[in-house]
Structure 1
Amino acid sequence: MHEQSPIGVGRREVLAGAAGAVAGLGLFGLTPAAAVPAEVPKFAAPTGGRVRVLVTGDAGTGTRTQWAVADAARAFHAREPFSLAVGLGDNIYESGPDGPDDIQFATKFEDPNTGLDFPWAMVLGNHDTSAVFPGDGGWLARGNHEVAYHARSPRWWMPSRYYSVRVPEQNPVVEFFVLDINPLAAYIPPLLDPYWSVDGPYMNAQRAWLDGALADSPATWKIACTHQPYLSNGPHGDAGNYEGLPIEPLNGVHAKRFFEDHVLGKVSFLLSGHDHTLQVLEPTPASKGTRQIVSGAAAKTSGGHGSASGPAHPALFDTQSELGFMVMDLTPDTVDLRVITVDPATGAGTQVFDRRLA
C-alpha cells in the first residue's frame, strides 16, 4: 500500500454503509477509492431544494482575523442559516498538521467555527502539504492527515483527497466536485515520486474519476472546488503563469492543462482560494463558460497587490484588501451570490455584492 493511505483503508474500499451507520445518515457525497469512514456522528446533510453555502478559504490561522470572519459568518447564520460550507484549502497554516490528532485542528478549525454546525466540505491547499518551507506543497502525503481527521470531526468533511458531494442526496440541486491539484501546482514538484507525478497513478485516477463523476452527475448545478484557481487577479495569478514565472512546471502549466481538459465547460462555477482576495470574475472564451470565483480572504488579505500574471480579468466584483466570505444560494432554477466583507476589529460583516449569476 502506498504512503497516501496511512490509516489502513484499502484503495478499493469505498465509503458506503460505515459513515451512514455511525452518523445515522445516508451517504452524503460520492467518493473514489480509499475513502475514510466516519467514527463520530456527522452534522446532518441538507435535504431541501434550497441550498445556502458558506464559501470561504485560506482560513486556518487561528488568529484574531480568522475569528473575526467566523464571527461575521455566525451572525449571518443566525439570520439566514447555512446548509453547508466549502473550505477552499490552506486549512492549517503555515505548514499543515502533523497528524490527525494535531491540536491545530482544534485551534485553527473547530474552535473558531464553533456554532457553525453543518458539514464543511474541505479542499487541500499548498500550505496543508508543506515540506521545506510553508506553502511549498512539497510533502503531498501530509494531506492524508486531513483526510484521516474526517473520522474524528462532526463538521470536517474530507473522506478522500478528492470527492464529490450531492446536495440534497436525492434529486440534487448541486454537486460539488472537490479536487486536489496540488501535485500539479506544488512549488517543489514531486519529481522523485512517480506516484504523484503529472501523469502518475494518483493524478490519472483523479482525472478518470472526475470525468466519470461529471458525466454521471444528475445535479442541476455542477461546481468544481480547488485551492489554486484557473484565473485570478490576485498576486498568485493565473494557472500557467502562477507568480508570473516563465519556468515550467512552477508556473502551474500542468494545472492549466488539467482545468482546460477536465473542468472548464463541464461545470457552471469554479470556486478557488489561494489568493487572499474576493473575486467574482466574468467567464472568458478560454474558460468555456465556466465562471471563476475566488474566496480566499477568511483570515488574510493580499494587501492590495495585483496579479503577477498581467492585466486584470473583467470582474463583477474584486477586492484585494478586505477580509470576508461569500454566500451562494442555489435552487433548481437560480444561483445567487453575495459577498460579505468583514471589519477585522469588530467582526462586523457588510454585504457589498448581491447578484443573480444564473
Structure 2
Amino acid sequence: MRPLLLLGLTPLLAACTPSLQGQPAPDVVAQLPTPADSAHVRVVVMGDQGKGGAVQKQVAQAMQEVCAAQGCHLGVALGDNFYPAGPKQASSPLFQKLFADLYGPLKIPFLVIAGNHDESWVVGGDGADAAGAAAQVAYSKLNPQWVMPARTYRAPVGDLVEFFALDTAPLAPYLPPVRPNEFPNGAWDRAQRAWLAGALGRSTARWKLVLGHHPLFSNGKHGEAGHYDRFPLAFQRGEAARQTYLLACGKADLILSGHVHSLELFAPQTDCTGTWQLISGAAGEAGGPKFGQRPAVFDAFGQAGFAWLDITPQVITVRFYAAKEGRAMQIFEGQIKK
C-alpha cells in the first residue's frame, strides 16, 4: 500500500547535501558471549519475518533444523519484526507470539534492528514513528534473547567479527517523520552517520558486518537505495540510506539487509567497492518476482527462506535455505574470502 503523498511539504522535504557534521550517536555496545571455538561464529539471518502466519512458522522450523545440524551461535533479525505495524509498548503480547514462541527454542541471542513496519505511524510500513523502535529497545530488557540495546549499536564477537546495527527506517520513510529531527539528513541521521564512520574506523575486528533493514542494492520490487519504489520525493526514495551505506563501502566486508522479500547476494560493485551485500528478507512470506537487472552472485525470488553464515578468520561461508513445509532445503553455497 502506498501512503498519500504530502505534496504540500515538498519544498520543506527537499533533499539536502548529506553531511557528517554534528555529534555522533552514542557508542552503544551489545555484550555477546564468545563461542567456545573462537575461530568459528555461525549466524542464522532472517528478515521481514513478522507476518505471523504459516510461512513464518515453517521458516522458523527450518531454521531450527539447520541450527541443530550445522550449529548457530547467533541470530540476526533484519527488521519488519512485526506486520502491519510494530507495537508501541514492550509489554505487548506480540513479542511473545511473533518472537519468543517461534525463536526461543533456538536458545541463541538475536541481534535485532527495526524496519519500516516496526516504525509505523499512520499507515503500516510508513516508517515515520520511531516509537515502535523504542518499544523494541525496551523489550530487550525483558528478554535477553532479543539483543537491541539501542536503535544504533555495535556488537563485537571476540576479535573475529563485529556487527554494526543501523536504524534505516528514518532514512527512507514514506511519510514525514513524527519528530522533525528525524527527517532524512536531519540531526538524527547525521549523528548515526557520524557514529558509523567512526565505529568502522576504530574497529579492529577481522570481519565487519553492517546491519540495515533497507538494502543498498536489490533486484526486488522496492529497488535500490536512492530510487526506492520510484517515489517522487527524495526523502522517500532513500537517498539518505544510500549515503549512509556508502560510508561502509570498502570499510565493511558485508552489508546485511531485508525489506525486499527475497534472498540475494551481490559481490562488490563499482559503486560500492570492497563490500559484499546479502539480502535475507524472506522469513515471513515468499515475495514477488524479480524486477532489477543488477548482476548478482545469487538470487531467489518467490521462495520463503533465510541465510546462514559460517564466519572464520579467512572465509565467510554463505548458505541460503528455502523452507519447504517446515523443512530446510539448501539452495546456494558460496564464500567471501579475505
TM-score after normalising by structure 2: 0.88
| Aligned-residue offset at 1:60 | 1.2
Matched, 1:183 2:170: yes
Amino acid paired to 1:328: L
Give the counterpart of 1:294 among 275, 279, 286: 279
Bigger relative contact order, structure 1 or 2, given CA contacts below 8 A and separation 6+?
2
1:117-153 deviation digits (Å, cap 9, x = unpaired): 1110001100000011110011123210000011000
Which of 153, 160, 174 is the equivalent residue of 1:173? Answer: 160
1:1-358 alignment runs, 5 A limit: 33=26, 44-47=33-36, 48-168=38-158, 172-190=159-177, 193-260=179-246, 262-304=247-289, 306-307=290-291, 311-343=292-324, 346-358=325-337
User: Using the alignment, how far apart are the partners of 1:296 and 1:136 within structure 2?
Assistant: 18
| Deviations 1:253-282 (CA, angstroms, capped at 9, x unpaired) | 22112222x222211111000000000123
Deviation at 1:246, TM superposition (A): 4.2
Question: What CA deviation, in whole Å up to 9, does each residue of 1:197-222 have, x standing for no partner?
Answer: 23333222212221111111110111
- Alpha-carbon deviation of 1:34? 8.8
CA distance in 2, matches of 1:93, 1:77: 26
Distance change (3 Å), C-alpha of 1:235 and 1:264:
same
Displacement of 1:244: 2.5
Q: Quickly say closer, same or farther: Cα 1:34–1:291, change in 2 above 3 A.
A: closer
Task: Find the aligned partners of 1:273 and 1:342 in 2 and give their Cα distance.
Answer: 17
Shift of 1:35: 5.6
Query: Counterparts of 1:43 and 1:252 in 2: how far apart (Å)?
Result: 31
Take 2:132 and 2:62, find their aligned partners in 1: how far apart are those partners? 31
Shift of 1:51: 0.4
Q: d(CA) in 2 for partners of 1:91 and 1:312?
A: 28
Contact 2:28–2:154 under 8 Å retained in 1: no
Listed one character per residue, the Cα deviations across residues 321-355 of structure 1 (whole Å, up to 9, x for unaligned) are 00111111111111110111111xx2011111111
Distance in 2 of aligned mates of 1:265 and 1:181: 20
- 1:45 and 1:119 in contact (8 A); partners too: no
Report the residue type matching 2:26 in the other structure: A
**By how many angstroms is 1:301 displaced?**
2.1
Separation in structure 2 between the aligned mates of residue 32 and residue 49 of structure 1, nearest angstrom:
31
Secondary structure at 1:235 match in 2 = coil
Letter in 1 for 2:239: V
Q: Which runs of 5+ in 2 are unaligned?
A: 1-23
Report how many aligned residue pairs link the two structures. 313
Cα distance in 1 for partners of 2:32, 2:133 equals: 23
Q: Give the superposition deviation at 1:76.
A: 1.0
Contact residue 36 and residue 150 of structure 1 kept, 8 A: no
- % identical aligned pairs: 38
